[in-house]
Structure 1
Amino acid sequence: MAYDAFLLLSFGGPEHPDDVMPFLRNVTRGRGVPDERLAEVAEHYLHFGGVSPINQQCRDLLAAVRAEFAAHRVDLPAYWGNRNWQPMLADTVAQMRDDGVTHALGFATSAYGGYSSCKQYWEDIAAARAHVGPGAPAISKLRQFHDHPGFVGPHTDAVRAALATLDPARRPTTRLVFTAHSIPTRMAETAGPDGGRYTAQLQEIAELVHAAAAPDLSWDLVWQSRSGPPQVPWLEPDINHHLTALAGKDVTDVVVSPIGFVSDHLEVLWDLDNEARDTARDLGLGYARAATPGTDPRFVTMIRELVEERTRDAARQRLGTLPVWDVCPADCCPSPQRRGAS
């Protein structure tokens, strides 16, 4: 199959204080979340001047991908569109149509299966193409990449670097804590054709990073950034609750690795560099937060390799054993029922 463009798909984020509430309304559309609750979340963004780092991180990643493509003769123009803020995906798809693009490969800034981390991007693509109408290019989404060496390697080295900042004499009482975005337990149970795909992939990369970075240490997979009504069960334990539990088990230091994320965007900065760090300080725990891949050259190379799997039939680079596929089954990861939606 012939492809004539590359599309970077991301979540989007505000870039000015006046953007924050409209952005949050986009994120929560159809869920019946009142503005009073959104105002609480808005304070996290306003703490950073109303600017989420994610858009600039996407610009930097797009520039690195373009350079990587040029260096390896991957002749695909690269575009970028967001789910929730400018550049909106529909606008990008319209530009691609006007530029004569007919079939693009889409790369989402999420490594994992599940509704919000994978299938919703497929829905975003379909909605954007429908909005653009006749002439909208076809868009095929690249596979999930949680166990690709270009994703595992940067996380592994980041854990090693974070460990190096802690007191080596206390290594025997140091623990690794891997984090990812919490989701409703029902959503986790229905992720993937056989269910449990999101948590299984996170478990696998945690095992891979632990084995390569610090096999002598104990580790846990926990969750962060929970939202939604309290009566709806979400994946637990929360990172802050878990740190409290560890402090009662003679743990002296923790390295927190956000393996659920590809870059240091706001949920990483707020939930880990502020809330979790403050929790650790109050508990007397030594604390180091590992970095995310960002524009690490290995991560950028990974994106090119994923493209070449489809354009040049290149071999798949994988460290894990969970099955992967290019096209998800139609009944994979059903959409959650939204309050207030028809």
Structure 2
Amino acid sequence: MSRLFGLEYLKQDLIPELEKDIRDCFAEWAAKPSIDVHDCTPDVIFLLVAKKMIGLHPSESKELRKNYSSFLEGLISFPIYLPGTTFYRCMQGKNNMMNLMSNLLRKRLSTPKEKHGDLLDLMVEELQSENPTIDEKFATDALSALLFTSFVTLSPNLTLAFKFLSDNPAVLDALKEEHDAILMHRKDASSGFRWEEYKSLTFTTLVINELTRMSNATPGIFRKTLTDVQVNGYTIPAGWMVMMSPMAVHLNPAFFEDPLDFNPWRWLDESKRNAQKNFVPFGLGIRACPAAEFSKLFMALFLHVLVTKYRWTKIKGGEVSRKAVIMFPQGYQIQLLPRA
């Protein structure tokens, strides 16, 4: 399992390809008079993540993205399974994406010698090894979950990054300073982003923490009680399903002062960094999201290319609301320009 979701895959195989794809994405955006980051950012993120994880082409990822969106929009909805309802679309989206993943896995298993350089290759190798630690059902579920959690986490975080960095020039300046320092210390100016550079990003880590705290991309984290649990005088019986809302924790003024303020410096407080039970964007314990490190690396690399190569100006929109997920009802149009 460590081979499938471990750091070596991120270090050796993913960073160079991902950096190139992100650079190509920004170059395409900069060639346009304006873009709506509320629409473009999720599309690009899903395209890149689907390519790196399961090798999907743009036309295929567009259809899968539609199914993921239907699933996400109905994740917190009244469970009436009738055509036309949000819950029906949610379940149809889930079934469609699981079928696509299952078919894709079976196709790869039938042609194991064809390599695509993605996570699915590693899954196939593990399934066909002498002593596999996973089965096909686990592989299908894991691929669907990894792609979903990466997309759900990254899209609102990086869309909000444009808004919060625009609204907080001091944060943007500090972020530029940290990433410019990385470029200055490189012996080879043409070399790409490295794992060691990623792990050295102190202020960027604070920004990523604050983005994930405020976006609350996951509507809820589900767990099953193994024994009776006492909470504030109430008893939750063993065997019940419990949904914990990260937003209820992350925006609670008892845990975070002025919780609606975007303030990366709050994470300099050691008590905040160590209070893991009050910061759960990727869950906790042995069932924490296996794509957490990938998501944080993606955000750091996205921000690295953005602040070292580009600047942007707001054109219109930018008001934020929330249903099950973060939304920009009027969109958020910007013009992306090469950094002077």
Q: Shorter-normalised TM-score: what interval?
A: under 0.3
Give the structure with the higher percent helix: 2
The normalised TM-score by structure 2 is 0.24
